[in-house]
Amino acid sequence: MSSQLDTWYIVQQPDGQCDITDAQPAESSSPASPTPKQWGPYASQAEAIAHRIGLIRAGHCRPR
């Protein structure tokens, strides 16, 4: 078992698609570039994938 905890996030891209990443999304300090929507953290990549599917079905993210 790994001593480092894995955390996964869903980040919405400007085109509306959502990516899953294991890095915490950076906060944007520029008012010209709005902070993208993000969800998480999730305990596993599988959990993040399941939540992304739910976001797609709810219309919050575009499918690839």
The predicted pLDDT at position 54 comes to 98
Q: Which two tokens stand for residue 54?
A: 């739910």
The predicted pLDDT at position 30 comes to 60
pLDDT over threshold 50, residue 3: no
Q: List, for residues 8-31, the tens digit of each pLDDT value.
A: 999 999 999 999 999 888 766 566
Contact of 38 with 25, CB cutoff 8 Å: yes
What is the three-class DSSP state of 54?
helix
Q: Which two tokens stand for residue 49?
A: 């994938």
| CB atoms inside a 10 Å sphere around CB 45 | 13
Distance CA 40, CA 43 (A): 9
The model's pTM is 0.79
Q: What is the mean pLDDT of residues 33-59?
A: 93
